[in-house]
Amino acid sequence: MNMQKPADARIGQARGAQAIWLVCAFSAIFAGVGLPFYLGLLDGNLLSLLVFPLGLFLLGIFFAAPKLFFYLIMVVRSACDLVFESARMATGGGGPGIGALVNASVIALALYIFSKDEFQKRKPMFMAWAIFFATAGYGLLLSPTKIESVRLILAWVSNLAVFFCAAHFVRSMKDFVGQLQVIVLSSIAPAVYAFYVIANAGIGSIGSLRIESTFTHPNIFAFYLAFVINIVFYLIKATSRTVNAWVRPALFLWMMVLLGLLVCTQTRSAWLACMLMFLGFGLLIERRYLLYMVGACALALTFEPIRDRLFDLNAPEVETSQTKLDSFRWRVELWTAGLGWMEIKRYFFGYGIGAFSENAPVFFPRGDGIKWDAHNVYVQWLFDVGIVGLLGYAWIHVRILYLYRRLAEIDRPLGFIVLVTVISYLTVSFSDNMMFYLAFNWYYWFFLGGAGALLFGVARTGTRPATGVMGQRPILLPRD
């Protein structure tokens, strides 16, 4: 028996080597025969030419090191929106591009993991998604824009895939902290590009310039920065052996950089979300942070751009041929017009995904015929998929908050950061199109997936990992 196993292993290795040689041979043949045709087909467009080699590269890492593959994507995804958009425009804006390839690869990885992972272990975290996708599927049937609706649903399938993969790769607190470090690393490229934009525009233009960096809108960049600041702050507070003491000063400096860039986005809702995080930490965990908050707010108000943005709320930010409104009043009028236009019978299942923007020129004439999204997830989802769909969407987060409530018993600061992150996400969803911000949503669900795996890993073993966070000693937790 003992000699049979090494023999079987050698046979398996030999077959694996043969498979690799066959793949290499096929690739060489394709490169020699198919490449000229491929170049001619794409008419020499550089961004389009990158799709196939990038696909081969991702495929190789996918099978060789799935975890590395996933983490590499998460490190660079924050810097990719402009690249993906440029590639899509270069190919005429039609058909799948590099972004679709990356999304599909993450979904494929999740399916590959799902085939090997014990789903039952994490069933409580994933069943909440079933209602959402069921109602979204019904919304797709009613949708007036089928292609765009399919893209939105696939984007949320990729969110679930990121959530699932993050949960799969966490087996200990060290693994989880490694994922948090991936999130921090992902902020380097957007920060560097933001400074490049500022340098090109000139320091004097900061007060009038809203920085969007590698994202497609300043609000998305702002919500991403506020989220990463939460993560960096937790890593600073963690005294686990997985976070070295010498790293903390560097993290603090990086948090200051991110706070400065957050100011440059001029997104007030993101400022508020970040402020509430520090305020809540001061009220619930360390009171001295209340003094820090007072000092930071006083310092911030000495800067004229911040004062103007905070106190000039009535400035006309949305201008059309028929009206000049500040952003809040414009949103309220849009929401009121949309909900008032709805028929009573449509309140249960809506008009279909994408119906709000399609009908906006009809019920909101002030919009100059533009197909506006609602800038409010709840209004948009109510209009598109009705009360049933809205409850399905809300249930995901309600379930997350309920299941993750025990994280505070494992690690109090972590439980607080998870709570603040989810509440901030739900809050800014009242004034922005958070459902459509794919890159940001990936990092949001990446964090929650890893945190959930840490929680349910504890629930399965009945023991608390020796995190050493905030000087607390490991304790036993009751089994579920």
Single-letter amino acid code for the residue at 335: W
Sign of CA dihedral 195, 198, 203, 207: negative
For residue 434, give Cα distances in angstroms to 209, 239, 250, 364: 22, 33, 31, 21
Tokens of 317: 């930010």
| 8 Å CB contact between 332 and 346 | no
Domain range summary for the chain, segments of one domain joined by +: 39-116, 117-471
Tell me, what DSSP letter sits at residue 472? Answer: P
| 8 Å CB contact between 410 and 402 | no
Between CA 445 and CA 325 the distance in angstroms is: 34
Q: How many CA atoms lie within 13 A of 22 on its CB side?
A: 6
Alpha-carbon Rg of the chain, whole angstroms? 24
Q: Collect the ranges in the chain with pLDDT lower than 70.
A: 1-63, 87-97, 117-125, 202-208, 239-243, 245, 301-326, 457-480
pLDDT at residue number 120: 57
Between CA 372 and CA 147 the distance in angstroms is: 18
pLDDT at residue number 172: 85
| 8 Å CB contact between 340 and 383 | no
Closest Cα to residue 48, out of 6, 7, 19, 84? Answer: 84
pLDDT at residue number 143: 92
Residue 205, exposed/middle/buried by CB under 10 A (0-12, 13-18, 19+)?
Answer: exposed
